[in-house]
Amino acid sequence: MVLGFVSGPLQLHVAIRSNSEQVLRKPAPGDQAFSEHSASNTDYRGHSGLRLGRLALLRDQAAELPEQDGGLVAELGLARPHPIVVLNIGGVANITYVADAHPIACDTGPGNALIDDFMRARTGTSYDKNGDAAASGRVEQVFIDRVLAHPFFDRKPPKSLDRNDFALANIKLPELSVPDGAATLSALTAQSIARIVPHLPSPPRAWIVSGGGARNRTMMRMLGERLAPATVESADDVGWSAEALEAQAFAFLAVRCLYSKPLTFPTTTGAPHPMPGGVVARLETR
């Protein structure tokens, strides 16, 4: 997949990033900052149809994205009160907290994965479109309180999750109707996101939501209720792309790799200092 282009005085470089070999996004015991990958995740740098480079990335990729989120906020001069949080709700939800220093980032807990898996198991559909099923449901708060008692939610960032750390098979969801189950799992996501606020330097005043969760009207309503008095908007509302923001972030990372810029920071992955994401090995051409 071609993710970004870098223009130079005499040539055009094409930055290509592959994210297909990540097999487990879960830190090793005692290490909240890193993911385990198969042999490598590889970037290639191409020019004039020739394959010129390879990059093996060693850091947690999702935790590297905050540098792009922070750059967007700064470069676009987003007219929102700071601190700002960029919230991505994919299978797992993760945040980037943007203030004056390096961004702070972490996974917050389940995102859409539980809702999607529940809807697929109960209705055969792949997700709760617009949050319509959840909109008419009743939230089972006792279940949510039990899940939120997990030690993960009391940890300070940086921290990371695998999609299956919170899965239907291990969270013991009670027997609920489709609307009640969708509402309960949506509320779990919203409340787990709100649990990160006490771990941040100061309460965010604005939240910008990307990923599939930004399309879920019930989820957005729940977030607005839980995160008040902060504002909650979708990335589309501020002129970004809720669907493309993560893909754009990986393109941004690929370009930073080409210029040996740091990708990871103590406040995003727990790295000891700002670090680049890998090593570029150039192939000899004959």
Note the pLDDT tens digit of each residue in 95-113: 999 887 678 999 999 999 9
pLDDT band at residue 282 using 50, 70 and 90 as cut-offs: low
pLDDT at residue 243 in the model: 85
Lowest mean pLDDT among 57-66, 100-109, 176-185, 271-280: 57-66
Note the pLDDT tens digit of each residue in 107-133: 999 999 999 999 999 999 999 999 999
- On the question of pLDDT at 6 being above 50, the answer is no
- Is 166 in contact with 114 (CB distance < 8 Å)? yes
pLDDT at residue 55 in the model: 23
Lowest mean pLDDT among 135-139, 167-171, 251-255: 251-255
Q: Which residue has better confidence, 141 or 57?
A: 141
Whole-model pTM? 0.75
Beta-carbon contacts of residue 98 (< 8 Å; ≥ 6 apart): 66, 69, 70, 73, 74, 82, 83, 84, 85, 86
Q: Which residue has the tokens 């993710």?
A: 3
pLDDT at residue 121 in the model: 97
Note the pLDDT tens digit of each residue in 56-86: 222 233 444 554 445 555 544 577 888 999 9
pLDDT at residue 155 in the model: 96
Alpha-carbon span 35 to 42, nearest angstrom:
15
10 Å CB burial of residue 262 (0-12, 13-18, 19+) is middle
Q: Which residue has better confidence, 59 or 159?
A: 159
Q: Which residue has better confidence, 70 or 220?
A: 220
Alpha-carbon span 164 to 276, nearest angstrom:
28
R_g (Cα) of the chain, nearest Å: 20
pLDDT at residue 257 in the model: 81
Q: Which residue has better confidence, 167 or 45?
A: 167
Element (H, E) at 79: none
pLDDT averaged over the chain?
77
User: How remote is the C-alpha of 177 from its chain's centroid?
Assistant: 29
Alpha-carbon span 204 to 228, nearest angstrom:
10
| 173-195 mean pLDDT | 98
Beta-carbon contacts of residue 171 (< 8 Å; ≥ 6 apart): 114, 147
CATH 3.30.420.40 fits domain 63-238: yes
